[in-house]
Amino acid sequence: MSSAGTSTKAGKTKTEPGWELYRTFLEVVRDGSLSGAARKLDLTQPTVGRHVDALEASLHLSLFSRSPQGLKATPAALELVGHAEAMAAASAALQRTASGGASADRGTVRLTASEMVGCEVLPPILARFRNAHPGITLELALTNRNEDLLRREADIAVRMVRPRQKSLVARRIGKSPVGLFAHPRYVEQYGLPKTVADLKTHCLIGFDRDPQPFRSLGTMPQPIRREMFGFRSDSDLAQFSALKSGVGIGGCQYGIARRYPELVPVLTRMIRFELDVWVVMHEDMRSTGRVRLLFDHLATELTAFLRTR
């Protein structure tokens, strides 16, 4: 397979960069070195260097400059990154689509969800799916940002906000209540707050630099600032680990807290939020059997999860 394609027009041949050149370019941008990109792509360092040189020559652009930290992408290169990422997503989607052939019960499906849902809610649900459909390979991407289904970064998404794009098929599963909890070790040492005002004297667990998860809870009685938290992290899993370790008082979905009966509810009558739960896929995926199988399975299982009391 050659590293570039050709097109002919008016008797002239123009060389166009092939996908492998952009794939190499993208890994060099991400890693900042030829050697690191070579390891990820299972290529030799000279081959990676030749790919970069070939792409620069084809585009007539300088893509990297050397710095003490390694290779630094030029402004021109940074403008290409989004397009290269779209190509990478499309390439992965093509491979997933072709992976099962005509069979609805074989192939690969990529699912994305938040850290907490992906680690605390989905594993038993996906285990039951795999038991029923062992020929389907599952990929799970954990991220608190909404993966772009339009760019095919994933086939299905479990989201806690309503999707707005018209070309997406979304099924609202229900609402997941969220409240405050503390571990008995924390309660034993510091007691429980009796009023919302008492929270000021307690160690609260919350965000560091990214307030988006708190914004998704809707309107707050007062603005939430990072200075309010005695333990800060932008990782939901780190926050939950801190909560279970007795660091402080933190938020948790009731459905997840049920699995940890030692957790003590805090101010249940005064503080309670609800998150919408949606299962989403691109409308073009409706005719792909294995994607539809997982979509329907998630809808059924998450509905049962939310109804459990």
Average pLDDT across the chain, whole number: 85
**pLDDT for 14 beyond 60:** no
| pLDDT at 182 (0 to 100) | 97
Residue ranges per structural domain of the chain: 4-95, 104-309
Quickly name the fold that domain 4-95 has.
Answer: Arc Repressor Mutant, subunit A (1.10.10)
Mean pLDDT, residues 160-179: 88
229 vs 206: CA distance, rounded Å: 6
Cα 165 to Cα 73, 147, 170, 286, 292: the distances in Å are 32, 13, 10, 16, 19
| pLDDT at 6 (0 to 100) | 43
Q: pLDDT (tens digit, 9 = 90+) per residue, 79-113? A: 888 888 777 777 776 666 666 555 568 888 999 99
Structure tokens at 189: 């040492």
* Domain 104-309 = CATH 3.40.50.150: no
User: For strand 168-182 and strand 264-266, is the pairing parallel, antiparallel, or unpaired?
Assistant: antiparallel
| pLDDT at 289 (0 to 100) | 87
- Which among 237, 238, 210 has a CA at the least distance from the CA of 224? 210
Q: pLDDT (tens digit, 9 = 90+) per residue, 118-139? A: 999 999 999 999 999 999 999 9
| pLDDT at 11 (0 to 100) | 45
| pLDDT at 52 (0 to 100) | 87
| pLDDT at 101 (0 to 100) | 55
Q: Higher pLDDT residue, 132 or 9?
A: 132
Classify residue 198 by its DSSP letter: G
pTM of the model: 0.67
